[in-house]
Chain A
Amino acid sequence: MARRVRPGRSGVALVIAMGTLTAACAPPGGDSPQPQATSAAPVSEAPTCGTAPVTMTGYFETGFPLPKELTTEFTKQHPNVTWDIREDQFAVLTQNAPRLLADNPPDLMRLPQLSELVKDNLMKNLDGYATAFGWDKWPASQLEQLRLGQGGRPRGEGSLYALGLNMSMTGVFYNKKLAEQIGMSAPPATLAEFDTLLDKAKSAGITPIVQFNGGATGGLAFPLQNLMASYGPSGPINDWIFQKPGATIDTPSNLQAVQHLERWIKAGYFQKDVNAVDYATMMSRFIDGQGLFMFNGDWESGNLDKQMAGNVGFTLMPSAQEGGKLATMSAPLTFGIAAKAKNADCAAYFLNWVATDKRAREIGVEVGGSRPLGPADAYMPEVAQDTVTAGTLAAGADIAADNGAMDFIANATGAIYAKGWTPQLQKLVAGEQTPQELLKTVQADYSGQIEGN
Chain B
Amino acid sequence: MTRPAGARSVHRRPVARKLRGTRGLVGWLFVAPAFAFYAVFVLRPIALTFQYSLYEWDGIGPSTWVGAANYGRVFTDRDLFESLVNAFQLIVFFSAVPVVLGLAVAATIRRIAASRLALVARTVLFLPQVIPLVAAGIAWSWLLASTGVVNQLLSLVGLGGVTRAWLGDFATALPAVGMIGAWVLLGLCTLLLLAGMSKIDPALYEAARLDGAGPWREFVSITIPSLRQEIAVCVTVTVIAALASFDIVYISTQGGPGNTTMVPGLQIFYLAFADREVGTASALAMVLMILVIACALPIQWFAKDNNR
- List the interface of chain A (C-beta within 8 A of B): 3, 5, 17-18, 21-22, 25, 27-30, 34, 94-95, 98-99, 102, 116, 119-120, 122, 213-217, 271-277, 414-415, 418-419, 422-424, 426-427, 429-430, 432-433, 449, 452-453
- With A29-B57, A98-B58 known, 9 other A-B pairs at CB within 8 A are A17-B39, A27-B65, A28-B278, A29-B60, A29-B62, A214-B168, A275-B256, A418-B275, A419-B275
Query: CA of A423 to CA of B55 in the docked complex: distance in angstroms?
Result: 28
Query: CA of A116 to CA of B275 in the docked complex: distance in angstroms?
Result: 10
Which residues does chain B contribute within 8 Å of A102, judged by CB atoms? 60
Which residues does chain B contribute within 8 Å of A25, judged by CB atoms? 51
Residue of A nearest to B141 (CB): A276
- B93-121 interface (Cβ within 8 A of A): none
CB-contact partner of A273 in B61, B146, B259, B273, under 8 A: B146
Which residues does chain B contribute within 8 Å of A95, judged by CB atoms? 273-274
Judging by beta carbons under 8 Å apart, are B60 and A272 in contact?
no
Which residues does chain B contribute within 8 Å of A426, judged by CB atoms? 256-258
CB-contact partner of A272 in B165, B255, B276, under 8 A: B165
- Verify if B15 is at the interface (C-beta below 8 Å from A): no
Q: Jot down 23 A-B pairs with beta carbons below 8 A, ordered by A.
A: A17-B43, A21-B48, A22-B44, A28-B52, A28-B278, A29-B59, A29-B61, A29-B62, A95-B274, A98-B58, A98-B60, A215-B255, A215-B256, A216-B254, A216-B255, A216-B256, A273-B146, A276-B169, A276-B257, A414-B276, A419-B79, A426-B258, A429-B257
- List the interface of chain B (C-beta within 8 A of A): 23-24, 27, 35, 39, 43-44, 47-48, 51-52, 55-63, 65, 79, 145-146, 164-170, 253-259, 270, 273-278
Judging by beta carbons under 8 Å apart, are B62 and A34 in contact?
yes
Judging by beta carbons under 8 Å apart, are A275 and B257 in contact?
yes
Judging by beta carbons under 8 Å apart, are A116 and B276 in contact?
yes
Which residues does chain B contribute within 8 Å of A271, judged by CB atoms? 146
Q: How near does chain A come to B253, taking the closest CB pair, in angstroms? A: 6
Interface centre among A5, A21, A28, A277 (most CB of B within 10 A): A28
Query: CA of A30 to CA of B170 in the docked complex: distance in angstroms?
Result: 43
Q: How near does chain B come to A308, taking the closest CB pair, in angstroms? A: 21
Which residues does chain A contribute within 8 Å of B270, judged by CB atoms? 418
Q: How near does chain A come to B138, taking the closest CB pair, in angstroms? A: 12
Judging by beta carbons under 8 Å apart, are A122 and B165 in contact?
no
Which residues does chain A contribute within 8 Å of B166, judged by CB atoms? 276
Which 6 residue pairs are nearest across A and B when measured between Cβ atoms? A276-B168, A276-B165, A273-B165, A216-B254, A275-B168, A273-B146
Given A215-B253, A423-B259, A452-B277, A276-B60 contact (CB < 8 Å)? no
Interface centre among A22, A116, A215 (most CB of B within 10 A): A215
Judging by beta carbons under 8 Å apart, are B274 and A276 in contact?
no
Given A95-B274, A98-B59, A276-B167 contact (CB < 8 Å)? yes
Q: How near does chain B come to A38, taking the closest CB pair, in angstroms? A: 15
Query: CA of A233 to CA of B43 in the docked complex: distance in angstroms?
Result: 55
Query: CA of A29 to CA of B277 in the docked complex: distance in angstroms?
Result: 13
Given A119-B61, A120-B60, A272-B274 contact (CB < 8 Å)? no
Number of A-B residue pairs having CB atoms within 8 Å of each other in the complex = 135
Q: How near does chain B come to A4, taking the closest CB pair, in angstroms? A: 11
Given A27-B65, A28-B52, A21-B255 contact (CB < 8 Å)? no
Which residues does chain A contribute within 8 Å of B253, judged by CB atoms? 214-215
Judging by beta carbons under 8 Å apart, are B59 and A99 in contact?
yes
CB-contact partner of A22 in B48, B60, B167, B256, under 8 A: B48
Which residues does chain B contribute within 8 Å of A415, judged by CB atoms? 274-275
Which residues does chain A contribute within 8 Å of B274, judged by CB atoms? 94-95, 414-415, 418
Judging by beta carbons under 8 Å apart, are B60 and A27 in contact?
no
Which residues does chain B contribute within 8 Å of A29, judged by CB atoms? 57-63
Query: CA of A345 to CA of B271 in the docked complex: distance in angstroms?
Result: 35
Query: CA of A22 to CA of B48 in the docked complex: distance in angstroms?
Result: 7
Interface centre among A276, A277, A424, A432 (most CB of B within 10 A): A276
Judging by beta carbons under 8 Å apart, are A18 and B47 in contact?
yes
Given A18-B47, A215-B253, A28-B165 contact (CB < 8 Å)? no
Which residues does chain A contribute within 8 Å of B52, judged by CB atoms? 28
Q: How near does chain A come to B2, taking the closest CB pair, in angstroms? A: 14
Query: CA of A22 to CA of B51 in the docked complex: distance in angstroms?
Result: 8
Residue of B nearest to A117 (CB): B60
Residue of B nearest to A274 (CB): B168
Which residues does chain B contribute within 8 Å of A274, judged by CB atoms? 168
Query: CA of A154 to CA of B265 in the docked complex: distance in angstroms?
Result: 33
Which residues does chain B contribute within 8 Å of A277, judged by CB atoms? 165, 168
Judging by beta carbons under 8 Å apart, are A27 and B63 in contact?
yes
Which residues does chain A contribute within 8 Å of B168, judged by CB atoms? 214, 273-277
Which residues does chain A contribute within 8 Å of B273, judged by CB atoms? 95
Q: How near does chain A come to B25, taking the closest CB pair, in angstroms? A: 12
Which residues does chain A contribute within 8 Å of B35, judged by CB atoms? 17
CB-contact partner of A116 in B23, B56, B58, under 8 A: B58
Judging by beta carbons under 8 Å apart, are B58 and A120 in contact?
yes
Residue of B nearest to A417 (CB): B274
Residue of A nearest to B147 (CB): A273
Which residues does chain A contribute within 8 Å of B51, judged by CB atoms? 22, 25, 28
Q: How near does chain B come to A247, taking the closest CB pair, in angstroms? A: 21
Judging by beta carbons under 8 Å apart, are B39 and A21 in contact?
yes
Given A95-B273, A418-B274, A28-B57 contact (CB < 8 Å)? yes
Query: CA of A99 to CA of B47 in the docked complex: distance in angstroms?
Result: 21
Q: How near does chain A come to B56, taking the closest CB pair, in angstroms? A: 8
Query: CA of A273 to CA of B146 in the docked complex: distance in angstroms?
Result: 7
Query: CA of A273 to CA of B256 in the docked complex: distance in angstroms?
Result: 13
Which residues does chain B contribute within 8 Å of A5, judged by CB atoms? 24, 27
Q: How near does chain B come to A423, taking the closest CB pair, in angstroms? A: 4
Judging by beta carbons under 8 Å apart, are A214 and B275 in contact?
no
Q: How near does chain B come to A350, taking the closest CB pair, in angstroms? A: 26
Residue of A nearest to B52 (CB): A28
Query: CA of A3 to CA of B270 in the docked complex: distance in angstroms?
Result: 47
Residue of A nearest to B44 (CB): A21
Interface centre among A275, A432, A433, A449 (most CB of B within 10 A): A275
Q: How near does chain A come to B249, taking the closest CB pair, in angstroms? A: 10
CB-contact partner of B275 in A17, A122, A275, A414, under 8 A: A414
Q: How near does chain B come to A272, taking the closest CB pair, in angstroms? A: 7
Which residues does chain B contribute within 8 Å of A122, judged by CB atoms? 60
Which residues does chain B contribute within 8 Å of A452, judged by CB atoms? 56, 277
Q: How near does chain B come to A26, taking the closest CB pair, in angstroms? A: 9
CB-contact partner of B23 in A3, A17, A98, A427, under 8 A: A3
Q: How near does chain B come to A22, taking the closest CB pair, in angstroms? A: 5
Query: CA of A10 to CA of B256 in the docked complex: distance in angstroms?
Result: 46
Residue of B nearest to A413 (CB): B275
Q: How near does chain A come to B209, taking the closest CB pair, in angstroms? A: 43
Which residues does chain B contribute within 8 Å of A427, judged by CB atoms? 170, 257-258
Residue of B nearest to A22 (CB): B47
